[in-house]
Structure 1
Amino acid sequence: MSTVITRPAAFNDLPVLAEFLQLLVNAERPFDVTLQEGDLIYYDLKELMERDNSELLVLEVDGKLVGCGYAQIRPAKPYLIYKEYAHLGFMYVLPEYRGQGLNQQLIEGLKTWVKSKGVKEVRLEVYTENNAAVRAYEKAGFKQILTEMRYELE
């Protein structure tokens, strides 16, 4: 396999990142019946690139973007032991590049950025039924702490 480069996203990456966002949305649809139809915008990608409290990284192989993810420093709830934490999101790797440790490489790059900001807590959200993603995050050292549940009233 070619060398995989982890680097901060650039503005000229935005068209591909917008495609990745819709691929991610479509991959999550089976896990969430509450998602609206059509294209959805979860994140303001340009803002994630511009803000000091976030870092949007991409994975590149031979000049082609194959994955992405961001870390964003957020205030913690007042009852938690940390005043702030880093939230990971937009974690996506093209299907043909999965199973090669790229998600781990991306997480390590984001954790390095988080540590450079002096933040010690990293959290993310994953659909409970997305077994492959849950396993990948557990492999990276994450532990489940909460399950969100819903009930739809008629």
Structure 2
Amino acid sequence: MNTVATRYATLEDLNTLLQFEQGVIAAERPFDETLKEGAINYYDLQELILSEDAAVVVATMNTEIIASGYAKIVQAKAFYKFSHYAYLGFMYVKPAYRGKGINQLVLQQLSSWALSKNITELRLEVYSDNLPAIHAYRKAGFKPDLTTMRMEIQPT
């Protein structure tokens, strides 16, 4: 039986996770014209794995890692009702496993970790044109908050 399980990532998972990071970047390039060409990195995955204030979760089927995500405790601005929140990122599911609820399992594990740290606020960022991701996050209970807007200006 092919059962999906979640667990915390280890340094032994790093090579696979670095490949997943490039998958995240490839998926986001069409939504962000400001990303540099060529190989780039978003995350310090080793630091996230080793940090007491972060959790990197992977979903596995048999021995294959098929999905990932992280939560990192961030200090909130003084005007919020909460002092800290868990920022979520690195949400990736291998293409062959998408649409099967695996991202939801990763989100559940990250939520449980946040609660174990007495964190009750989760936040993440998603490109406004990435409708499949927005739908998945809404399905998980997230709701839109702020919209970041940008404009490139040219010197005259």
TM-score by length of 2: 0.97
Shift of 1:40: 1.1
For residues 77 and 39 of structure 1, the distance between their equivalents in structure 2, rounded to whole angstroms, comes to 33
For residues 23 and 4 of structure 1, the distance between their equivalents in structure 2, rounded to whole angstroms, comes to 20
SS, match of residue 72 in structure 2 = strand
Provide the residue aligned with 2:105 in structure 1.
Answer: 105
For residues 62 and 39 of structure 2, the distance between their equivalents in structure 1, rounded to whole angstroms, comes to 29
**Residue 62 of structure 1 pairs with residue 58 of structure 2:** no
For residues 13 and 119 of structure 1, the distance between their equivalents in structure 2, rounded to whole angstroms, comes to 26
Shift of 1:52: 0.5
Seq. identity, %: 47
Structure 2 counterparts to residues 2-151 of structure 1, below 5 A: 2-151=2-151
Misfit runs of 4+, over 3 Å: none
1:82 alignment partner AA: F
For residues 87 and 38 of structure 2, the distance between their equivalents in structure 1, rounded to whole angstroms, comes to 26
CA RMSD across the alignment: 0.8
For residues 110 and 151 of structure 2, the distance between their equivalents in structure 1, rounded to whole angstroms, comes to 34
For residues 51 and 18 of structure 2, the distance between their equivalents in structure 1, rounded to whole angstroms, comes to 18
Shift of 1:92: 0.3
For residues 16 and 72 of structure 1, the distance between their equivalents in structure 2, rounded to whole angstroms, comes to 20
1:146 alignment partner AA: L
1:7 alignment partner AA: R
Structure 1 unmatched ranges of 5 or more? none
Cα displacement string for residues 96-117 of structure 1 (whole angstroms, at most 9, x for unaligned residues): 1011000101100000000000
SS, match of residue 52 in structure 1 = coil
1:18 alignment partner AA: L
For residues 7 and 38 of structure 1, the distance between their equivalents in structure 2, rounded to whole angstroms, comes to 31
SS, match of residue 25 in structure 2 = helix
For residues 120 and 5 of structure 1, the distance between their equivalents in structure 2, rounded to whole angstroms, comes to 24
TM-score by length of 1: 0.98
Total equivalences in the alignment: 154
